[in-house]
Structure 1
């Protein structure tokens, strides 16, 4: 195993573990860390990359990102709501001017990016009402 491959595997697992911790902590972003782990695994280990893509919870995140078809509108809206809720909470907890400015700049940049991403239709057929036609 080469040093570069080993470093990417370690970085991938650290990113994934940190992303899992980010589910519970408002300042750690889960999705970007899971995507970083997927990239690291794609460059270093087919087995770990396949496992991550097939994972019950993290697989759809990676598949949506890699599909180039966009993200579901519902997922985008949730991401925006939870991101701003977490950032607002963090701004009140930290209560520092520069931290607030930094979080606002990051939040605006991520919001612009999310709002510019293409949207795809929801793939859940169970949630849509039956047709009466």
Structure 2
């Protein structure tokens, strides 16, 4: 089973690294999953992620308080809005044009209800 957790952690770190350079692909959610998976089968990677100067505090805030920084909430909301606009501008099925905005409104509502981390 350890190979599964390590594979999942590696995949998520890779996707997170790609997200650093590809606009619109989030980095932090992949690193949250990577840290979670690493905690089950790769403690060294988990420790490295938690000690990372930029992403470590975000991971710790999520683990300890389920907190999301306001800047991340705004970025996610703007990306969701751009997704809705694109789905309306590009050819797509009608059901998707209505289902995606409803789903993303639910996601945004959930996201904005998360607490914000305490100032450092």
TM-score between both structures, scaled by the size of structure 1: 0.71
Hey, what does 2:103 align to over in structure 1?
Answer: 106
Maintained 8 Å contact 1:72/1:121: no
> Which residue, 49, 54, 59 being the options, matches 2:51?
54
1:1-133 paired onto structure 2 within 5 Å: 4-23=1-20, 24-26=22-24, 28-68=25-65, 70-85=67-82, 87-88=83-84, 90-91=86-87, 94-96=90-92, 97-123=94-120
After the TM superposition, list the runs of 4 or more consecutive aligned residues in structure 1 that deviate by more than 6 angstroms: none
Distance of 2:7 and 2:66 partners within structure 1? 30
Distance 2:51 2:119 in 1: 19
The CA deviation at 1:98 is 4.1
User: Would the alpha carbon gap of residues 93 and 35 (structure 1) be closer, same or farther in structure 2, given more than 3 Å must change?
Assistant: farther
Distance, in Å, in 2 between the alignment partners of 1:35 and 1:82 is 19
Greater mean deviation of Cα atoms: 70-79 or 43-52? 70-79
Structure 2: runs of 5+ lacking an equivalent: none
SS class of match (2:36): helix
Q: 5+ residue gaps in structure 1?
A: 124-133
